[in-house]
Amino acid sequence: MRSFFSKYKFFGLVLLGLSAVIMYLFYNALQPPEILTVYQPTMVNPELVDSTVQYKRKYHTIADFSLTNQNGETITQANYADKIYIADFFFTTCPTICPIMTKNMVSIQKRIKDFDDVMLLSHSVTPEIDSVAQLKKYAVEKGVDDAKWNLVTGDKKQIYELARKSYLAVKDDGDGGPYDMIHTENFILVDKKNRIRGFYDGTNEEEVEKLMGDLKILMTSDKE
């Protein structure tokens, strides 16, 4: 009897291993694919959303734009066509959260360097200060790769409306002028259809890791 079990021990182990692999494959096949939320204005803190779009429950996308980058080039949505991108709002003289956000954006830039369909986009909330020359100086200091990352300035009203009507990521500064704004620490993940797929705290490394994980999910789902 013992010799019988000894003779077929190897076969049994192989069969057991094969069964485990088959069960694992079946389990994975039955799991629904991970899908990221498509964010709408009604799902976001009202403080960050312009009153004219707070009611929207679907079909929200980033509006067309025309701004100027650190090289004096006009940047429009065409530069981000068929791209996934990560956007944020900052200003070059910000002494608080911006240095941390920029450091984390630089880290993301390194991690996406081989992904042709992923880019970065940072909007200045003080365009009257952040001239092209100022943005270029900042870009050189921080190690911005012009091929992957645009720092943009331009008409203050347009940036304000993009921030509050499109990206849903900036607070209105009621103490200043009509288009004064207070940027947040948000990194915004935008898909190839110009829809918001995630908000992340750009000063928090765990949140940045979550962003990178969600980016992988989005890159996979966008290929389907």
> Scanning the structure block, which residue is given the tokens 């990560």?
86
At 27 the pLDDT is 41
Q: Which residue has the higher pLDDT, 196 or 14?
A: 196
The string of pLDDT tens digits covering residues 72-97 is 999 999 999 999 999 999 999 999 99
The string of pLDDT tens digits covering residues 24-45 is 444 444 445 679 999 999 999 9
Does domain 41-221 fall under CATH 1.10.10.410? My reply is: no
Task: Enumerate the domain spans of the chain.
Answer: 1-31, 41-221
Say how far apart CA 120 and CA 24 lie, in whole Å.
Answer: 37
- The reported pTM is 0.84
- Over residues 105-122, the mean pLDDT reads 98
Average pLDDT, the chain: 89
- Over residues 135-161, the mean pLDDT reads 97
85 forms beta bridges with 119, 190
Say how far apart CA 184 and CA 202 lie, in whole Å.
Answer: 9
